[in-house]
Structure 1
Amino acid sequence: MNRSNTHPLVRRFLPFTEWLPMLDAMTVRNDIWAGVAAGILILPQAIALATMAGLPPEIGLYTSIFPVIVCALFGSSWHVLSGPNTSISVMVATIIGGYASLGTPDWIMYTLTLTFIAGVIQLLFGVLKLGVVFNYFSHTVMVAIVTGVGIIIIIQQIGNFLGLTVNPGEPVQDTLYSMLFRMPEVNWWAASLGILTVVTGMLVKRCFPRQPAIIIAVIVGMAGGWLLEFLFGAGNTNVDKLGYLSLEILPLSAPDFSPTNFYEAAEGLMMGGFIIAFLGLMQSAVIARAMAVKSGQHVDIDQEVIGQGLSNVVGSFLSCYPSCGSFNRSASNIEIGGKTPLVGIVSAIVLALLVAFASPIIAQMPLSVMAGILFLVGAGLIKIKDIRKLLAIRGEPRISFLLVCFTTVYGGLEWAVMLGIAVSIIAYMRHVSRPELDLLFENEAEQYMPDGVHDATVVQLSGSIFFGSTHAIERGFSDLAHEDHRANPLIIAGELIDNMDDAGAASIAQEARKRRESGGDLILWLRDHNLDDLLQRSGLVSLLGKYNIHYAS
């Protein structure tokens, strides 16, 4: 059975029938290997992210098993791996912290209800075919939110890193103030393990970039803890540990909408559910598009949205908290050679087996080691090079980034998402009326990188490129030149260009000449071949060369 002879209705409700025929011997072998690697990679992250959300480690492990399987069967992307997510974890802690105390049954109960609400909202987005909405979320806003989340993670984990107890729900400024005056209470044995973990992760990432830095850092950190206890005794070091894991084969649960439990938190949970649904789908859609460009697969965003929503609805009945696509695990999946969603199913099985046999060892993980891992995760979200490029552009991108990032850190992630939605809508309306240059980063930028091209500046050019807009375009190119001095290749993602005239083509040609003179180059991506006659007539084809003009379709 394949796409051509599978009934559309069957593909709609059973999307896994589309990739099952691909499972020949070689594909299954590659997918099993990729699944084993993904299952090992998620283990320390699942525990750390659940702790970040204020939840027991077991819930992070369940969230790395059941939603992954559901998305593999009912999503559209063949390479996106779902599970716990950094931004979602911070968001859960922020929302639930206003209604329950950390570590209590109420915290878990509200989280399950929040997961169900977010899943239902996501399902509605998919059923109503509103997945296209997530294609218009501003890349600048995404970078700002992710950067702010990275800062929040680092600040919130200072307490565990130093062997101190903090309230994860308090504002970041209160956390910093508290840590400053509690420095005499620092457990330097715990802090030394956190430092060892961070240094190990940084060295592995720098010297051996293809190796799993987080896993190696966890092993070294735990080994350091055992050595300290052996040399000085557990009573003297007094390092807090993760503790016993209470795992179940089928951890049944249910959201609670009873008047006594739901009423007092209804407003916050409903608003939080919408924000988490939107934030999760936004990230999942970006990841799905990026993976599709690398693999050549056509992704049905609406079906991917349905898969994500269904995974959260099902997860709320299996002790899971909200999940979404993970870029790290998805990128590793495609790099290792995974071909189909069988990778996700295998990774879930591998993780379950690892936890079943290694839970006594996992329970011995020092909290400061886990905090060190989260330091690495948070630092990995803060892309200094990309931020510098973004801040070099005057006007809307710079203001939007600073405003949304500041709101994320000091105003709360929920307000930052709402502000980001508003900023994205305004930016889109401006794009329709006039051209805009929007910097792309990370997975969005990588999809436009031709083989052999590195350290390129990638911008999305959208709107009408005509004689009246050339001044704005040239000013944007000039702002970019202040950062890279035109020595790097400039890649223009022009799929959203509505139309172009000779003056618009001339402005692109002028920037191409300046780049060539400074040792750089210019590469152009277009949606289709509708502008070929103009490019040929204006001389842009001969100037760039056909090898520097690419098409999305």
Structure 2
Amino acid sequence: MNIKKIIPILEWLPNYNTIFLKGDMLAGITVGIILIPQGIAYALIAGLPPIYGLYCALVPQIMYAIFGSSRQVAIGPVAMDSLIVATGVSTLALTGSDSYISIAILLALIVGTIQFIMGVFSLGFIVNFLSKPVITGFTSAVALIIGINQFGNLLGVNFVQSDQIQYVIEDIWQQFLEYNFHTTSIGIISVFIIIFFRKINKKIPNALIVVVVGIIIMKYFGKSFEDVAIVKDIPSGLPIFAIPEFDIDLIRELLPIAFTLVMVGYLETISIGKSLEAKQDEYRIRPNQELIALGLANMVGSLFKAYPTTSSFSRSAINQESGARTGMAAIVSVLMVVFTLLFLTPLFYHLPKTVLAAIIIVAVFGLVNVKEARFLWKANTLDFWLMLATFLATLFFGIEYGIMVGVGLSLIVLIFRTSRPYVAELGKVPNSNFYRNKSRFEEVIIENDILIFRFDAQLFYANSAYFRDRLDEMASNKGNQLKLIVLDAESINRVDSTGLEVLKERVKYYKNRGVTFYFAGVKGPVRDDLFKCGVLAIIDINHFFMRANDAVKFYKTGDRSKQEKYAKYIHQAY
């Protein structure tokens, strides 16, 4: 067993080069500067005291730096997971209460345990059932939900909080004119400042700038803005080790939201990690190792008061752009958060909540992927409607139901596509030995007594009836002139028992009608299955050919020399 594969930090730390230190230090400081105000803001989304957003930036980052296969992914609190936490936990306890906090921490332990088990048993492939259109629709909807839910803090109005957007919009419509002028002014100015600096250079710590400006305004001009809500006391000190309280009934209630966090968190991390991987050639992302790293980050993090964490799109990109080469950048970020928790939390007392809302709104609205929707509309309309259905289901029915609809529709589309694969009748390209699809090549030669049938998928229980029906339909179109059917099986990579029975039954059927049945381009494993199921009791081994052209030539000329050599080879291989 390679210990470096299990603990990836052993791959880069023993060979750490001081050349990397400058980039890692700069990236760690930059991400830390961004992470501190974001952590406070995202904790508010989760319905937790601001300090818990900073707790999420400690142990989880260290665990990922040790066990994560990516050296540039930035782990910590994120807006999407924070809203999912709020959605799930708010139904079980009063937001901000002690029981609410303990449930959120227990949720991190459950999420981490599921992720760790999936990683150990190499179950990362399960998440592949969430297609990219589903991910796009889900993340875009959640981004809108998060942003609109922050309008209350931005405008200084106590709007209803919900993951069903229609209720939030209805309440905003009814109470919009009650907005607080001072709160709204500070919030909107903060939004414009953030957007302005982001357009100049994304490396500029725009979140920190508006936080500092907001604190200065409230500290020195607070008497003029007494109606603006501020964060107030954030306790100093590091989190104390404590095991979350276990309750079997509570764990059972948290499982649906936990699985949602597992899926979303893992997808975010893999997609970010893969995009960063493509920009370098020093390491490779290992999906199951990422699950293990995320699992340990959440499990161990929960022992130090962290709620569920995952990777951040924005911070990971900034980490890479700022020069991070190894996990040392994450350790530098942790040291910055530790310093803040020990000495700087009193400075955040006067931080306006509307500034935090502005940071969140600008960050999450950037996740609404209109460009991808336009691409899907042009490239694949079925994927576009899949994305739109997931988007609308998440917006109007909630996050948990949105992910369920997305997974369900992905499976339905998968089944539909595999049950009705592409089939084609092939014709001969003039003056060549090649056969091509007659629907795409008008010049190909089609012979009335020969049908060359190509099936572009595995042949199994879900599409075997479709295979039979389309074969019979094409054969029927030939009429009584049909004397030979050649199955071009080059695209068939697997056949199950149902598919084998359909093949045998069709061979018998056409044999009884006086139509010869040949196989061309059959892959070795498929051919083995055909022989094991007894197909050689129906047809001769000489009816297997390397290419469709060989089958037609053999049928027309009866030249057995070349075919007997191939049949002998097949027999020996079998």
Partner of residue 309 from structure 1, selected from 272, 287, 295:
295
1:147 matches 2:140: yes
Equivalence map 1:33-44=2 (5 Å): 33-44=26-37
> Do 2:203 and 2:318's aligned partners in 1 also have CA atoms closer than 8 Å?
no
Partner of residue 4 from structure 2, selected from 2, 7, 11:
11
Equivalent position of 1:440 in the other structure: none
Change over 3 Å in CA distance of 1:133–1:293 after alignment to 2: farther
| Separation of aligned partners in 1, 2:116 and 2:439 | 40
Equivalent position of 1:203 in the other structure: 196
Partner of residue 100 from structure 1, selected from 93, 97, 107:
93
Change over 3 Å in CA distance of 1:201–1:434 after alignment to 2: farther
1:280-311, CA deviations, whole angstroms, 9 ceiling, x for partnerless residues?
Answer: 11111111211111122222211111000011
Change over 3 Å in CA distance of 1:394–1:135 after alignment to 2: closer
Equivalent position of 2:272 in the other structure: 287
Question: What percentage of residue pairs aligned between the two structures are identical?
Answer: 30
Equivalent position of 1:48 in the other structure: 41
Partner of residue 419 from structure 1, selected from 379, 392, 405:
405
1:104-138, CA deviations, whole angstroms, 9 ceiling, x for partnerless residues?
Answer: 11111111111111111101110001123335531
Partner of residue 397 from structure 1, selected from 383, 389, 409:
383
| Separation of aligned partners in 2, 1:136 and 1:330 | 25
Equivalent position of 1:256 in the other structure: 245
> Do 2:133 and 2:383's aligned partners in 1 also have CA atoms closer than 8 Å?
yes
| Separation of aligned partners in 2, 1:170 and 1:428 | 28
| Separation of aligned partners in 2, 1:197 and 1:470 | 57
| Separation of aligned partners in 1, 2:144 and 2:21 | 40
**TM-score with structure 2 length normalisation?**
0.70
| Separation of aligned partners in 1, 2:287 and 2:439 | 32
Change over 3 Å in CA distance of 1:427–1:193 after alignment to 2: same
2:165 counterpart letter in structure 1? V
Equivalent position of 2:79 in the other structure: 86
1:188-210, CA deviations, whole angstroms, 9 ceiling, x for partnerless residues?
Answer: 11111101100111111223344
Deviation at 1:224, TM superposition (A): 4.3
Partner of residue 355 from structure 1, selected from 341, 352, 356:
341
Equivalent position of 2:206 in the other structure: 213
> Do 1:15 and 1:74's aligned partners in 2 also have CA atoms closer than 8 Å?
yes
Change over 3 Å in CA distance of 1:400–1:345 after alignment to 2: same
2:3 counterpart letter in structure 1? V
Deviation at 1:362, TM superposition (A): 1.5
1:199-237, CA deviations, whole angstroms, 9 ceiling, x for partnerless residues?
Answer: 1111112233442332233334444445653xxx25x63
1:295 counterpart letter in structure 2? Q
2:99 counterpart letter in structure 1? D
1:108 counterpart letter in structure 2? I
| Separation of aligned partners in 2, 1:62 and 1:165 | 27
| Separation of aligned partners in 2, 1:116 and 1:254 | 9
| Separation of aligned partners in 2, 1:92 and 1:467 | 53
> Do 2:238 and 2:342's aligned partners in 1 also have CA atoms closer than 8 Å?
no
Equivalent position of 2:253 in the other structure: 268
1:62 matches 2:61: no
1:42-65, CA deviations, whole angstroms, 9 ceiling, x for partnerless residues?
Answer: 111111111101111111101011
Change over 3 Å in CA distance of 1:271–1:470 after alignment to 2: farther
With 55-64 and 180-189 compared, the bigger mean Cα shift is at 180-189
Equivalence map 1:350-389=2 (5 Å): 350-389=336-375
Deviation at 1:184, TM superposition (A): 4.3
| Separation of aligned partners in 1, 2:175 and 2:122 | 52
Equivalent position of 1:484 in the other structure: none
Equivalent position of 1:319 in the other structure: 305
Deviation at 1:101, TM superposition (A): 0.9
1:189 matches 2:169: no
Change over 3 Å in CA distance of 1:367–1:21 after alignment to 2: same
| Separation of aligned partners in 1, 2:101 and 2:226 | 32
1:68 counterpart letter in structure 2? Q
Change over 3 Å in CA distance of 1:166–1:17 after alignment to 2: same
Superposition RMSD in Å: 2.6
Deviation at 1:419, TM superposition (A): 2.0
Deviation at 1:363, TM superposition (A): 2.1
| Separation of aligned partners in 2, 1:470 and 1:107 | 62
Change over 3 Å in CA distance of 1:139–1:243 after alignment to 2: same
> Do 2:238 and 2:341's aligned partners in 1 also have CA atoms closer than 8 Å?
no
> Do 1:160 and 1:367's aligned partners in 2 also have CA atoms closer than 8 Å?
yes
In structure 2, list runs of 5 or more residues that go unmatched: 423-435, 442-488, 492-574
Q: How many residues align?
A: 431
| Separation of aligned partners in 1, 2:129 and 2:440 | 23
Deviation at 1:433, TM superposition (A): 7.0
> Do 1:135 and 1:285's aligned partners in 2 also have CA atoms closer than 8 Å?
no
1:307 counterpart letter in structure 2? A
2:244 counterpart letter in structure 1? P
2:388 counterpart letter in structure 1? L
Partner of residue 230 from structure 2, selected from 228, 241, 244:
241
Change over 3 Å in CA distance of 1:382–1:217 after alignment to 2: farther
Deviation at 1:169, TM superposition (A): 4.1
In structure 1, list runs of 5 or more residues that go unmatched: 1-7, 437-465, 472-497, 501-553
Deviation at 1:40, TM superposition (A): 1.0
1:134 matches 2:141: no
| Separation of aligned partners in 1, 2:385 and 2:97 | 41
1:16-70, CA deviations, whole angstroms, 9 ceiling, x for partnerless residues?
Answer: 1111133111112321221111111111111111110111111110101110100
SS of equivalent to 1:21: coil
1:396-422, CA deviations, whole angstroms, 9 ceiling, x for partnerless residues?
Answer: 112111110111111111111122223
Equivalent position of 2:173 in the other structure: 180
| Separation of aligned partners in 1, 2:415 and 2:284 | 27
Change over 3 Å in CA distance of 1:352–1:428 after alignment to 2: farther
1:379 counterpart letter in structure 2? F
Deviation at 1:353, TM superposition (A): 1.0
1:37 counterpart letter in structure 2? T
> Do 1:95 and 1:268's aligned partners in 2 also have CA atoms closer than 8 Å?
no
| Separation of aligned partners in 2, 1:147 and 1:245 | 32
Structure with the greater alpha carbon radius of gyration? 2
**TM-score with structure 1 length normalisation?**
0.73
Change over 3 Å in CA distance of 1:332–1:430 after alignment to 2: farther
